[in-house]
Every structure is written in structure tokens, then in C-alpha cells.
Amino acid sequence: METATGSIVAYWLMNILYAALIVFVGRIVVKWLIKLARKLMVRANIDPILINFFSMIANAILLLFVLIAALDQLGVDTTSMIAVLGAAGLAIGLALKDSLQNFAAGVMLIMFRPFKIGDFVEAGGAMGVIENISIFNTIMKTGDNREVIVPNGMIYGDTI
């Protein structure tokens, strides 16, 4: 009886050790991959706002994969967990449809730069000088010196 208990304890200690090793090595690999991706994006002249955003998203996703691999090593059934995460992602995506549209348009505006800060443009139902272009919106200063915040989805989907 004691040997059976001892072998069960040894089995679980080894699994816990392997899971901890997966997390430890996984975090190092994720940091290295993110660092490499950031260097490549800087070389490609991608806007620093996008570099930071994509780095954070990639870091979170890769660490989630590492965590799932560690849980799988511990014997947790990860298939149902992945299905729940997929369903949650779909629900969040549908709930944030407008915000995601503005985000995607902001990424396109920052990458393709149809206009830059200081340009006078008419877009998204507003006319003025571009003061700031962010991920979700663009700030313009109108002729009567008012600041107008226009969602990027309206700008990108309209004639500029």
C-alpha cells in the first residue's frame, strides 16, 4: 500500500515539476519571440502605437498557450477549456463590434497614412486640421477652433 501511495506522489510531483518547467521555459520563449517580433516591426517602420498593441496581444495569447500546455501536463482536460475560450472570444467580438471596427480602421489609418497630423481634411462628417490619430479615433481642430473627435470607422468608411 505504501509503495502505491509513494508512486502516486512521485507521479504527481513529476507532473507538477514538468508543468512548472513548461511555464518557466514557455515564458522565456514568449519573451524572446515578442522581442524578435518588436525588432522586425521596428525595421518595417510600423507605428510604435501598433507595435505596443500587437506586442501586448501576442504576449497574452502566447502565454495563454503556455498555460494551457502546463494544465494539459497536469492532466486537466483542456479541450473543453479551449472551446469555452473560443465561445467567449466570439461573444466578446460580437459585443464589441463597433469598437473593433474603429480599431481595425485605426490600424489601417496608421499603417497606410492617407493623411498625417497637420493635414486639413474632410472625413467622417467633419472638416478640420488633424491633431491626433489614435487606434480608436481621430481628433480634428475645426475652422472655428473646436476639437472634434471622430471614430476611425466613420473616417475609413467615408471619402477622405
What is the DSSP secondary structure assignment for residue 146, as one 8-state letter? -
The single residue listed with the C-alpha cell 519573451 is 31
Q: How many domains does the chain divide into?
A: 2
Q: Say whether pTM exceeds 0.75.
A: no
Q: Is residue 15 located within the same domain as residue 58?
A: yes
Q: Which residues pair with 141 in a beta bridge?
A: 129, 147
Backbone angles phi, psi at 74, to 5 degrees: -80, 0
Range of the domain at 61: 2-95
Report the DSSP beta bridge partners of residue 128.
Answer: 121
Across 38-42, 97-101, 122-126, 150-154, the highest mean pLDDT is recorded for: 38-42
Between the ranges 31-35, 71-75, 104-108, 110-114, where is the mean pLDDT highest?
31-35
| SS3 of residue 3 by DSSP | helix
Q: What is the pLDDT of residue 105?
A: 87
Q: List the grid coordinates of 9.
A: 506522489
Confidence class for position 21, pLDDT limits 50, 70, 90: very high
In this structure, is residue 108 part of a structural domain? no
| C-alpha torsion sign, points 146, 152, 158, 160 | positive
pLDDT at res. 39: 95
47-95 residue pLDDT tens? 887 888 889 889 999 999 999 999 999 988 888 888 888 898 899 888 8
Closest Cα partner for 63 from 29, 19, 96?
29
Same domain, 62 and 133: no
What percentage of the chain carries pLDDT values higher than 70? 99
Higher pLDDT, 77 or 35: 35
Residue 100 lies in a domain: no
Looking at residue 111, its pLDDT comes to 79
What lies within 8 Å, CB to CB, of 104 at 6+ separation is 153
Residues 52 and 128 in one domain: no
Write the DSSP symbol of residue 89.
H
Residues 91 and 120 in one domain: no
The stretch 97-115 carries a mean pLDDT of 84
Coil, helix or strand at residue 128: strand
CB burial of 37-50 (b: ≥16 within 10 Å; e: otherwise) equals ebeebeeeebbeee
Domain check: are 69 and 20 in the same one? yes
pLDDT, position 1: 52
Q: How confident is the model at residue 33 (pLDDT cuts 50, 70, 90)?
A: very high
Beta strand ranges found along 2-125 (DSSP E) = 120-123
pLDDT band at 98 (very low <50, low <70, confident <90, very high): confident
